[in-house]
């Protein structure tokens, strides 16, 4: 398999300064066929990006938490459609935010339908994120509710922005799914993930809390300034959290993440270890929100995200933590493939039709950086071109 064209795409982007550094990996049903790393871990420093570089993978955490939840569904400890409050009683206090009165006080009411694990994993529970919802920001300011970035339990007291089952809203849903994993297993989320997912898959560089080994390979975050240039961005996800965030708290390498996506590609197994049943993988890989569609993310915090829509004009669906494209993409991705991303401009896809998967990591804010997205698309196209 010829991979020089993949190298060229990544090398050019780093050399031109479009990204400080990039790591990308790809595999098919026979194993890993590409690993590449170009540029540096931090602007102005000599430490080169390497295939085992560790970065903040942000919302790429979500699929891992969903897999953990589905392991507990398989074991009969969780159900997809029972009231989530039966497992996480704090959810029984959750209200829907209808707006604000003339004094700025939030107007709240009880939800018309229950929150369920299926709705949490498909982002149809009604929970939002402040980054893409100005009403959540206003609510936090009015009530003193902390940001989800604090990893404080009080951050999870944010209200719903619509009724469960009404529409797709990107938010803290999978943080709540992580809480359900903890309640059903009796273990902290990080420990459950380590024992049931990371260790069996050989994901030795993925965790909520950074080890000395991870720090020695850690890439710094950067921010894209208005003039298009890049600067370092002092940021470290909370290393003393009140709760471990199943929605976006992990650090890891792309080598590790590819082990997870290969497991999904192989129907739940990797290197002789089965972590999910084939029927569970099929369920996670299918549209699980009926006639509700993915909608564009409209930023409320431009320092952290641009507006984001992977395929404008295409109907896009959601499985159990994955975006699903319903048409073939220009890059070659098959209809029904799985994908998602992380706030730091890291991305992955799983094409179960053509038996190929890939992941790419930069460390850049804000999310959906045009140059990073273009690089991911060029990488993906080069991968398909090499098959």
Q: Which residues are catalytic?
A: 59, 62, 170
Contacts of 125 (CB under 8 A, 6+ apart): 115, 116, 119, 160, 164, 169, 171, 173, 176
Place of tokens 């590609």: 265
Q: Nearest 5°: phi and psi at 279?
A: -70, -30
Please give the Cα distance from 80 to 279 (Å, whole number). Answer: 14
Map residue 133 onto helix, strand or coil.
coil
Place of tokens 């993915």: 294
Of residues 246, 203, 97, 210, the one with CA closest to residue 157? 97
Map residue 72 onto helix, strand or coil.
helix
Please give the Cα distance from 236 to 213 (Å, whole number). Answer: 16
Structure tokens at 151: 């990893």
Say if CB 84 and CB 115 are below 8 A apart.
Answer: yes
State how far Cα 92 lies from the chain centre.
Answer: 26
The answer, yes or no, to whether the previous bond of 59 is cis (omega within 30 of 0) is no
Task: For residue 53, count CB atoms less than 10 angstroms from its CB and return exposed for 0-12, middle for 13-18, buried for 19 or more.
Answer: buried
State how far Cα 285 lies from the chain centre.
Answer: 15
Number of H helices, E strands in the chain: 11, 16
Place of tokens 């790419």: 360
């Amino acid at each position: 398999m010829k991979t020089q064209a993949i190298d060229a795409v990544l090398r050019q982007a780093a050399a031109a300064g479009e990204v400080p550094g990039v790591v990308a990996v790809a595999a098919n049903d026979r194993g890993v066929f590409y690993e590449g790393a170009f540029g540096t871990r931090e602007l102005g420093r000599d430490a080169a990006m390497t295939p085992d570089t560790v970065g903040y993978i942000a919302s790429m955490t979500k699929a891992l938490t969903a897999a953990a939840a589905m392991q507990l569904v398989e074991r009969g400890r969780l159900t997809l459609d029972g009231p989530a409050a039966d497992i996480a009683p704090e959810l029984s206090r959750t209200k829907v935010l209808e707006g604000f009165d003339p004094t700025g006080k939030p107007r709240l009411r009880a939800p018309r339908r229950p929150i369920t694990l299926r709705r949490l994993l498909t982002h149809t529970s009604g929970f939002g994120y402040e980054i893409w919802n100005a009403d959540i920001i206003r609510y936090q300011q009015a009530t003193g509710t902390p940001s989800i970035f604090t990893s404080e339990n009080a951050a999870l007291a944010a209200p719903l922005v619509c009724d469960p089952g009404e529409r797709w809203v990107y938010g803290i849903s999978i943080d709540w799914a992580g809480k359900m994993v903890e309640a059903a297993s009796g273990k902290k989320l990080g420990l459950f993930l380590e024992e049931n997912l990371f260790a069996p898959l050989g994901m030795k560089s993925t965790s909520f809390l950074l080890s000395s080994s991870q720090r020695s390979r850690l890439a710094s975050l950067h921010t894209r300034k208005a003039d298009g240039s890049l600067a370092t961005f002092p940021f470290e996800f909370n290393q003393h959290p009140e709760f471990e965030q199943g929605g976006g708290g992990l650090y890891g390498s792309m080598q590790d993440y590819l082990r997870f996506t290969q497991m999904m590609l192989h129907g739940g197994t990797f290197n002789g270890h089965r972590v999910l049943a084939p029927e569970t993988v099929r369920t996670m890989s299918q549209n699980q929100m009926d006639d509700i569609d993915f909608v564009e993310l409209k930023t409320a915090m431009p320092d952290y995200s641009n507006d984001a829509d992977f395929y404008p004009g295409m109907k896009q669906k959601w499985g159990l933590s994955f975006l699903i494209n319903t048409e073939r993409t220009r890059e070659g991705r098959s209809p029904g493939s799985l994908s998602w991303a992380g706030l730091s401009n890291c991305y992955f896809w799983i094409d179960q039709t053509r038996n190929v998967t890939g992941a790419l990591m930069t460390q850049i804010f804000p999310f959906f950086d045009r140059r990073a997205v273009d690089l991911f698309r060029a990488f993906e196209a080069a991968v398909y071109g090499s098959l």
